[in-house]
């Protein structure tokens, strides 16, 4: 096991035998590895999360955070956590469809799943029984000694980066597109040649001409990895990963060795960390969309037929896996129960925020026209491309 227990206090023996002295509290040093490279903002968030765990535990739980490849290859962090090669991992469940295709429903079922956004998905985890279902999937179904928690959301993810505009679904034919897992199968069903690569290998593959196009996460993270140096057309939106949930895994034996108060702090910091990330990501995506435009990237709306056909392919995949895979069916049934309440209620109660956005921020919107507002606003060209 990688983790090392360290008794706090300078002179443990003296404390143990001093009259009236209490025992020093035990501290733990653990080693986690990410599936993401050091330059990826998702990895930086992983580091921030570990720092918060250490801070709120008063230094009693310290997690060393390593980037992809530091100990094992990116796609091996789950097995390495189970085998106690590392104490924990930072990844995305869509990587594990090779173990069971139901893994896609843990974190990023296409189209929501079932119309859910990131807050609905978080509700399923924490209010709809999702955490129990996911840990059943990893621990009992896959037989892995890990404890799973959601750490961040990185959706909704755009169609991706291209050097040739996609005008219709026919333009997708034969494209060598980097995209992993079942989301990749959606486009494979549309004639795309799908290539799976870890995040840190995407730009080098583009430089060598191994891939024609790529999707990864979104403006902030893609820009940080240098996608704009390879591709100049950015297509959005897409249905393949409307909600994408990053995860943190910890070896179950390691978890059970932690005192209850440290477990409680770990769980609470992990839950709060997601909300902070979502707020930060929204702002950073906006900033980096402007940086993309300054770098000469052209924003294009994804053609309707691409969106429609990708959803048709997904529904065929969904039917096949639902009817043939009991684990897939179990996760889907749990999500359907939750979504049947929250998605329908939101559909009725919430206004059309896209329409409101255009009313206020469109090229001829209220913000630009309201002379009494002490706020100067120039609509970016890329926004005008999307405004209805």
For residue 188, how many other CB atoms are within 10 A of its CB? 15
With residue 161 as reference, give the H or E element that holds it: strand 160-162
pLDDT in tens, 22-39: 345 899 999 999 999 998
Q: Which residue has the tokens 């001409």?
A: 209
What is the rounded CA–CA span in Å between residue 223 and residue 158? Answer: 13
Per-residue pLDDT at 43 exceeds 60: yes
4-155+243-283 and 160-241+297-343 in the same fold: yes
Does the 160-241+297-343 domain belong in CATH 3.40.50.300? no
Task: Provide the residue ranges of all domains of the chain, joining segments of one domain with +.
Answer: 4-155+243-283, 160-241+297-343
Q: Which residues contact 48 (CB under 8 A, 6 or more apart)?
A: 273
Per-residue pLDDT at 18 exceeds 90: no
Long-range contacts of 351-357, Cβ-Cβ distance < 8 Å, separation of 24 or more: 354/388, 355/388
With residue 29 as reference, give the H or E element that holds it: strand 26-34
pLDDT in tens, 96-110: 999 999 999 998 788
Could you tell me how far CA 279 lies from the centroid of its own chain? 14
Structure confidence at residue 108 (pLDDT): 76
Confidence tier at 377 by pLDDT (50, 70, 90): confident
Among 7-21, 222-236, 300-314, 365-379, the least confident range: 7-21
pLDDT in tens, 265-282: 999 999 999 999 999 999
Structure confidence at residue 9 (pLDDT): 37
pLDDT in tens, 64-116: 999 999 999 999 999 999 999 999 999 999 899 999 999 999 987 888 889 99
With residue 314 as reference, give the H or E element that holds it: helix 304-324
Contact between residue 75 and residue 198 where contact means Cβ atoms under 8 Å apart:
yes
Buried b (16+ CB within 10 A) or exposed e, 220-253: bbbbbbebbebbbbbbbebbbbbbbbbbbbbbbe
Structure confidence at residue 173 (pLDDT): 93
Per-residue pLDDT at 16 exceeds 50: no
User: What is the average pLDDT across 328-343?
Assistant: 96
Q: If you ran DSSP here, which 8-state letter would residue 214 be given?
A: E
pLDDT in tens, 172-195: 999 999 998 898 999 999 999 999
Q: If one looks up domain 4-155+243-283 in CATH, what number appears?
A: 3.40.190.170
Predicted TM-score (pTM) of this structure: 0.89
Structure confidence at residue 107 (pLDDT): 86
Percent of the chain with pLDDT over 70: 94
Name which of 230, 69, 63, 254 is nearest 145 in CA terms: 254
In the predicted model, what is the mean pLDDT of the chain? 91
Structure confidence at residue 19 (pLDDT): 36
Buried b (16+ CB within 10 A) or exposed e, 302-340: bbeebbebbeebbeebbeebbeebebbebbbebbeebbe
């Amino acid at each position: 096991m990688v983790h090392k227990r360290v008794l706090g206090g300078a002179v443990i023996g003296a404390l143990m035998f001093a009259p009236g002295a209490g025992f020093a509290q035990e501290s733990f040093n653990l080693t986690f590895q990410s599936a993401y490279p050091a330059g990826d903002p998702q990895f930086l968030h992983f580091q921030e999360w570990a720092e918060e765990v250490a801070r709120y535990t008063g230094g009693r739980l310290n997690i060393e955070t390593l980037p992809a490849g530091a100990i094992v290859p990116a796609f091996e962090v789950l097995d390495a956590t189970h085998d106690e090669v590392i104490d924990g991992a930072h990844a995305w469940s869509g990587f594990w469809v090779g173990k069971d295709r139901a893994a896609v429903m843990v974190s990023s079922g296409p189209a929501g799943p079932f119309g859910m956004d990131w807050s609905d998905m978080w509700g399923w985890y924490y209010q709809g029984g999702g955490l129990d279902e996911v840990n059943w999937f990893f621990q009992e179904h896959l037989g892995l000694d890990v404890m799973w928690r959601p750490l961040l959301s990185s959706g909704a993810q755009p169609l991706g980066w291209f050097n040739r505009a996609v005008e219709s679904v026919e333009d997708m034919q034969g494209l060598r597109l980097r995209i992993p897992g079942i989301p990749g199968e959606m486009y494979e069903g549309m004639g795309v040649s799908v290539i799976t690569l870890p995040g840190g290998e995407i730009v080098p593959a583009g430089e060598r001409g191994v891939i024609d196009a790529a999707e990864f996460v979104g403006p902030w993270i893609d820009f940080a990895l240098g996608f704009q140096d390879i591709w100049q057309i950015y297509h959005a939106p897409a249905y393949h990963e409307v909600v994408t949930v990053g995860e943190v895994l910890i070896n179950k034996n390691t978890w059970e060795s932690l005192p209850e108060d440290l477990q409680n702090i770990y769980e609470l910091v992990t839950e709060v960390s997601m909300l902070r990330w979502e707020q930060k990501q929204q702002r950073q995506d906006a900033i980096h969309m402007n940086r993309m435009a300054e770098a000469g990237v052209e924003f294009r709306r994804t053609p309707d037929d691409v969106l429609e056909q990708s959803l048709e392919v997904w529904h065929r995949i969904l039917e096949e896996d639902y009817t043939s895979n009991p684990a897939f069916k179990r996760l889907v049934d749990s999500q359907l129960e939750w979504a049947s309440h929250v998605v329908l209620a939101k559909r009725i109660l919430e206004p059309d925020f896209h329409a409101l956005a255009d009313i206020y921020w469109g090229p001829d919107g209220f913000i630009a026209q309201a002379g009494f507002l002490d706020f100067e606003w120039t609509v970016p060209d890329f926004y005008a491309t999307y405004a209805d």
